Amino acid sequence: MLRPKPPDIPTLPPTTVTPQQVQAPASSAGRPVVPYVGVGVGAVAAVVVVGIVLTALLAAVAVSAVSVAITAVVLRSLLSSANKR
């Protein structure tokens, strides 16, 4: 019988890891950071609110589509039974 040959696995050359120096962030020139954080929180809150509203609208459209489909099936059933009489 034929036996499969395992693939050759290439060996990678050893790599050396050099530690990186972590520098402390430079202090700003007297400008407060707090207003920038406030703008970020407001933007995030706005995005969350818009996402919730769009999700609610999508759910409303889906419910409306299902109700229209059910109504169409019921009407078709009623009309087809009326035509058979």
pLDDT digits over 52-67, tens only? 999 999 999 999 999 9
Please report whether residue 8 resides in a domain: no
Please report whether residue 83 resides in a domain: yes
pTM over 0.85: no
- Which pLDDT score, from 0 to 100, does residue 41 have? 78
Residue 6, H or E segment: none
Please report whether residue 79 resides in a domain: yes
CA distance 2 to 51: 59
Please report whether residue 51 resides in a domain: no
Please report whether residue 40 resides in a domain: no
- Which pLDDT score, from 0 to 100, does residue 20 have? 75
Please report whether residue 54 resides in a domain: no
Regions of the chain short of the pLDDT cut 70: 1, 22, 24-39, 85
Q: Considering its fold, how many domains does the chain have in total?
A: 1
Please report whether residue 72 resides in a domain: yes
- What residue type is assigned to position 18 of the chain? T
- Residue 66: give the domain boundaries: 59-85
